[in-house]
A and B are shown apart, each in its own frame.
Chain A
């Protein structure tokens, strides 16, 4: 079942902060975050594997609330290069085969203006 992302689109000025949420009606075993720029392939940002886990690099970080079945991606002091569509992905099934698959949310389009 596809996770739900919110908001669907965000427009910011450079230097502003953004939060993108990803939630699921099913239990989440992990959450993956990817960014896709227009006309390009998705690029991996990070995986969160455990409830309560937080990760980050540069000014992009994420948290994972396993009990609430949701994850949030935080972009701090946004840069022009952060523009793109952000997808969360959740595990697509059970077992070894399921662990390899991702079901992506519908995406959040982030536009950073100068």
Chain B
């Protein structure tokens, strides 16, 4: 089945220790997203790739970086995690939308990050 896969599902790291989260997709979608979701809050977009074009949200901290080496894979790097970065990180994909409405987003199961 076509899907969005995230690894690991649970990640524990120490304060300040770099961590990388990965996302892969078999949907062959052009657009990939990274969201941060804290408890009882809405998903908050960190950045997205439109094909190879990287689009950073204005309020995404510099501590967060991303790489998309090919269509199928995308990585989220947190260079120096702080306690406030503990959250669920969701990867999502969608087809390229040429209209104004956007297209359905398919979410992976998420990676829950704990910072000690």
Q: Is the interface of B mostly helix, strand, loop or mixed?
A: loop
For residue B91, which residue of chain A has the nearest CB?
A: A41
**Residue contact A99 to B100, C-beta cutoff 8 Å:** yes
Is B81 on the interface with A (CB-CB < 8 A)?
no
CA distance A43 to B108 in the complex (A): 10
Is B74 on the interface with A (CB-CB < 8 A)?
no
Is A73 on the interface with B (CB-CB < 8 A)?
no
A96-111 interface bits toward B, Cβ cutoff 8 Å, 1 = contact, 0 = none: 1101111111110000
A23-55 interface bits toward B, Cβ cutoff 8 Å, 1 = contact, 0 = none: 000000110101000001111100101000000
**Residue contact A99 to B43, C-beta cutoff 8 Å:** no
For residue B4, which residue of chain A has the nearest CB?
A: A41
Is A6 on the interface with B (CB-CB < 8 A)?
no
Is A69 on the interface with B (CB-CB < 8 A)?
no
| In the complex, number of A-B residue pairs with CB atoms less than 8 Å apart | 75
Is A2 on the interface with B (CB-CB < 8 A)?
yes
For residue B30, which residue of chain A has the nearest CB?
A: A100
* Tally of contact residues, A, Cβ under 8 A: 26
**Residue contact B98 to A96, C-beta cutoff 8 Å:** yes
CB-CB contacts below 8 Å: B64-114 with A: 90, 94, 96-110
Contacts of B2 in A (CB 8 A): none
Contacts of A96 in B (CB 8 A): 50, 98
CB-CB contacts below 8 Å: A76-114 with B: 87, 91-92, 96-97, 99-107
3 smallest beta-carbon distances between A and B, as pairs:
A30-B101, A41-B107, A104-B42
Supply 6 A–B pairs (Cβ within 8 Å), ascending by A. A41-B109, A47-B103, A91-B100, A100-B31, A102-B45, A106-B41
